[in-house]
């Protein structure tokens, strides 16, 4: 396709001035950006008019698709009524209040209070501080360590980046680590031992968790944090029976269970929250992304009455709870979230994620026999295809990521955007996607894989 004049101009300006997250700058100077101009349903269009099926819903987040007029109207209405107000020092606003109420009603278990942020990273930073504040309030200042998992992703700010267990987020940043212990990644295909069943793998992970808590001292371990299905770490589905047993160990040692549902929240696994799907009741639930379908930046920490009471006692004694973000719980973002959640409910998108997600995973399952495919995995409407250099030994490509990046490039040529996480190709389409659009996605992927092989 010929490059338009607009596209050329934007490309040059982009290379000169826009520093891109999660991008190799030197490579970017060579290849330049794909400039996306507009969206509609599950498709986005670049400035050359090329259409792409957005099989990652942007960044795992655009649940209702890319052209939902009701969200535009909700934002416009709120902007003209009250474009900004904050929640500091007893001030409040209606969409913030209504959304907090709705989230507590929707959330699994007995969660009663909501602290807003603008992003998932900030939400997880807030989790760390809430938990520390809570334990200080209870007079147990030693109970501060977090347990997270290798390959887990919880964000990139200093505290949330510490929780993240991906080397790339630590290397060369000299990230000052908060006290975090990273346990084994719960990926049976990669980390199950020779001859170990999936059930035995779960047993081993749970034993590692309990042994760690006991060795460190339960009075030093504040919380366990995990994503129900790891997203950025490679779409890792937990082994059989994993989550309820994590919860059991946490309860036994008075360790708070923090479930990071930034990707899985609001229907991705075919239930409103993945916590329900896997049978756990978190003390703290973290959400972002699909809460507004990413039409507006918003994150939320939804926490239990027990935490609230402890925090309120300490904050009362100190005179204030000195934490908050100017735009956290922004009225436009919370108004958009309310409308977005209404759409998810009215249109049965959670049920769609379940049904069409199963259809998607079945279709992707057909690639399991491909010579380059090591594993096809997923749950609900999130899945991944892991490419390997050698199927029998599961040997990775060297260097990791090169083949995945090549496949990503070929996919673009066929009109498909998904995301290569190293050599793992992830799919997490908008929850409105239909079976015929899944067929199109699969045929594009098949062509790109043929080009790569
Ligand atoms: N937690 C999880 C599970 C995520 O997937 C992400 C982002 O992908 C984050 C936290 C961080 O969110 P943000 O990029 O909005 O800071």
Same domain? 422 vs 300: no
Residue 231 pLDDT more than 90? yes
Distance 210 CA to ligand 1 centre (A): 27
pLDDT at 326: 98
Angle between helix 69-81 and helix 331-346 axes, rounded to 10 deg: 150
Section 317-326 average pLDDT: 96
The per-residue pLDDT for 3 is: 81
**Residue 65, C-beta contacts closer than 8 angstroms, at least 6 positions apart:** 39, 40, 41, 42, 293, 430, 432
Q: Is the pLDDT of residue 240 over 90?
A: yes
| Ligand 1 contact, 120 CB (< 6 A) | yes
From 246, 222, 230, select the one nearest 154 (Cα to Cα).
Answer: 230
The radius of gyration of the chain from alpha carbons, rounded to an integer in Å, stands at 22
- Ligand 1 in contact with 290 (CB < 6 A)? no
In a domain, 24, yes or no: no
Residue 322: CATH number of its domain: 3.40.640.10
Number of other CB atoms surrounding residue 283 within 10 Å: 23
- Is 184 a member of any domain? yes
Ligand 1 probe mutation, 155, 161, 301, most atoms within 8 A of CB: 155
Give pLDDT, residue 5.
84
Any residues with CB less than 8 A from the CB of 452 and at least 6 apart, and which? 372, 403, 406, 407, 410
- State ipTM: 1.00
| CATH code of 378's domain | 3.90.1150.10
Q: Which residues of 144-180 are buried (b: 16+ CB within 10 A; e: fewer)?
A: bbbbbbbbbbbbbbebbbbbbbbeebeeeeebeebeb
Ligand 1 atom nearest the C-alpha of 152 is: 3
**Segment (H or E) for 302:** strand 299-304
What does the pLDDT look like over 114-138, one tens digit per residue? 999 999 999 999 999 999 999 999 9
pTM higher than the cut 0.90? yes
Please check whether residues 75 and 212 belong to one and the same domain: yes
Banded pLDDT at 404 (limits 50, 70, 90): very high
Q: Say if residue 1's pLDDT is above 80.
A: no
- How far is it, in rounded angstroms, from Cα 235 to Cα 192? 16
Domain shared by 82 and 162, yes or no: yes
Of the three residues 303, 325, 346, the one that is the final residue of a domain is: 346
Ligand 1 pocket, mutate which of 128, 157, 262 (most atoms under 8 A from CB): 262
Q: Look at residue 180 and give its three-state secondary structure.
A: strand
Length of the chain: 453
Residues 368 and 395 reside in one and the same domain: yes
Mark whether 391 and 411 lie in a shared domain.
Answer: yes
Instruction: Please say whether the beta carbons of 155 and 161 come within 8 A.
Output: yes
Q: Give the C-alpha separation, 375 to 219, whole Å.
A: 40
For residue 1, tell me if it sits in a domain. no
Taking 70 as the threshold, does the pLDDT of residue 342 lie above it? yes
Residue 325 has what pLDDT? 98
**Which atom of ligand 1 lies at the shortest distance from residue 260's CA?**
3
Q: Kindly state whether residues 363 and 266 are assigned to the same domain.
A: no
Residues 273 and 127 in one domain: yes
> Would the CB of 261 count as within 6 Å of ligand 1?
no
Same domain, 113 and 136: yes
Residues 40/304, Cβ–Cβ less than 8 Å: no
| Residue matched to tokens 């699994």 | 108
231 ligand 1 Cβ < 6 A: yes
Round the average pLDDT of the chain to a whole number and report it.
97
Number of domains in the chain: 2
Residue 302: predicted pLDDT? 99
Query: Residue 176 above 90 pLDDT?
Result: no
d(CA 285, CA 275): 9
Determine the structural domain holding residue 86 and report its residue range.
71-346
Whether the ω angle into residue 399 lies within 30 degrees of 0, i.e. cis, is: yes
Q: Is residue 213 one of the residues assigned to a domain?
A: yes
Pocket probe for ligand 1: among 289, 290, 327, 421, the residue whose CB has the most ligand atoms within 8 Å is 289
Task: Kindly state if the Cβ of 118 falls inside 6 Å of ligand 1.
Answer: no
H helices of 196-328, in order, are 198-216, 242-252, 274-278, 305-318
**Same-domain pairing of 412 and 444:** yes
The residue from 346, 380, 396 where one domain ends is: 346
Q: What angle do CA 262, 399, 369 make, to 5 degrees?
A: 75
The reply to whether 269 and 319 lie within a common domain is yes
Q: Is 36 exposed, middle or buried (0-12, 13-18, 19+ CB in 10 A)?
A: middle
Is 137 near ligand 1, meaning CB less than 6 Å away? no
Residue 174's pLDDT band (cuts 50, 70, 90): confident
Is there a domain that residue 337 lies in? yes
| Ligand 1 contacts CB of residue 263 (under 6 A) | yes
pLDDT the model gives residue 299: 98
CA of 120 to the centre of ligand 1 (A): 4
Structure confidence at residue 13 (pLDDT):
97
Position 83 in a domain = yes
Q: What is the mean pLDDT of the segment spanning 95-115? A: 97
Give 178's pLDDT tier (boundaries 50, 70, 90): very high
- Would you put residue 45 in left (φ > 0), alpha (ψ -120 to 50) or beta? beta
Is the C-beta atom of 227 inside 6 A of ligand 1? yes
Do 300 and 425 share a domain, yes or no? no
The C-alpha atoms of residue 449 and residue 442 are separated, in whole angstroms, by 10
Ligand 1 center–CA 447 separation, angstroms: 31
Choose the final residue of a domain: 305, 326, 346: 346
Residue 232 CB less than 6 A away from ligand 1: yes
Residue 20 lies in a domain: no
Dist. CA 297–CA 290, nearest whole Å = 10
Q: Give me the mean pLDDT over the 324-335 stretch.
A: 98
Nearest CA-CA partner of 104 in 282, 312, 354, 363: 282
* pLDDT higher than 90, residue 276: yes
pLDDT of residue 2: 67
CA of 143 to the centre of ligand 1 (A): 25
Neighbours of 235 (CB within 10 A): 26
Tell me, yes or no, whether 119 and 248 share the same domain. yes
- Residue 271 is assigned to a structural domain of this protein: yes
Please state, for a pLDDT cut of 70, what percent of the chain lies above it: 100
Asked if 424 and 385 touch (Cβ cutoff 8 Å), the reply is yes
């Amino acid at each position: 396709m010929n490059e338009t004049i607009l596209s050329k101009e934007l490309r040059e300006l982009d290379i000169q001035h826009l520093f891109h997250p999660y991008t190799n700058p030197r490579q970017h100077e060579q290849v330049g950006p794909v400039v996306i101009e507009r969206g509609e349903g599950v498709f986005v269009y670049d400035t050359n008019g090329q259409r792409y099926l957005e099989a990652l819903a942007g960044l795992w987040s655009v649940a209702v698709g890319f052209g939902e007029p009701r969200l535009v109207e909700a934002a416009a209405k709120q902007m003209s009524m009250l474009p900004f107000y904050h929640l500091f020092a007893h001030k409040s606003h209606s969409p913030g209040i209504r959304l907090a109420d709705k989230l507590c009603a929707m959330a699994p278990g007995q969660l009663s209070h909501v602290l807003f942020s603008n992003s998932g990273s900030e939400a997880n930073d807030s989790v760390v501080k809430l938990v520390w504040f809570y334990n200080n309030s209870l007079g147990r200042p030693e109970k501060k360590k977090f347990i997270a998992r290798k390959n887990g992703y919880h964000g990139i700010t200093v505290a949330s980046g510490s929780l993240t267990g991906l080397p790339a987020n630590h290397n060369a940043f000299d990230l000052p680590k908060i006290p975090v212990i990273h346990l084994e990644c719960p990926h049976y295909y990669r980390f199950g031992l020779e001859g170990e069943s999936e059930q035995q793998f779960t047993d081993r992970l749970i034993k590692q968790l309990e042994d760690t808590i006991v060795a460190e001292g339960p009075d030093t371990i504040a919380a366990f944090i995990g994503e129900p299905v790891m997203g950025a770490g490679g779409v890792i589905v937990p082994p059989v029976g994993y989550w309820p047993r994590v919860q059991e160990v946490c309860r036994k040692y008075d360790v708070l269970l923090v479930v990071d549902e930034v990707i899985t929240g609001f229907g991705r696994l075919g239930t409103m929250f993945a916590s329900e799907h896997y049978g756990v009741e978190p003390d703290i639930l973290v959400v972002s992304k699909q809460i507004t379908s990413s039409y507006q930046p918003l994150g939320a920490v939804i926490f239990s009455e027990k935490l609230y009471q402890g925090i309120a006692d300490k904050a009362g004694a100190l005179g204030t709870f000195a934490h908050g973000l100017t735009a956290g719980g922004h009225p436009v973002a919370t108004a958009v979230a309310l409308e977005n959640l209404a759409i998810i409910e009215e249109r049965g998108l959670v049920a769609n994620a379940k049904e069409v997600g199963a259809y998607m995973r079945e279709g992707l399952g057909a690639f399991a026999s491909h010579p380059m495919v090591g594993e096809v995995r997923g749950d609900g409407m999130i899945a991944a295809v892991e490419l390997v250099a050698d199927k029998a030994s599961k040997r990775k490509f060297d260097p990791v990521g090169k083949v995945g990046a090549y496949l990503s490039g070929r996919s673009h040529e066929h009109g498909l955007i998904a995301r290569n996480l190293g050599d793992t190709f992830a799919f997490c389409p908008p929850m409105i996607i239909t079976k015929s659009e899944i067929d199109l996605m699969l045929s594009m992927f098949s062509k790109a894989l043929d080009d790569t092989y």
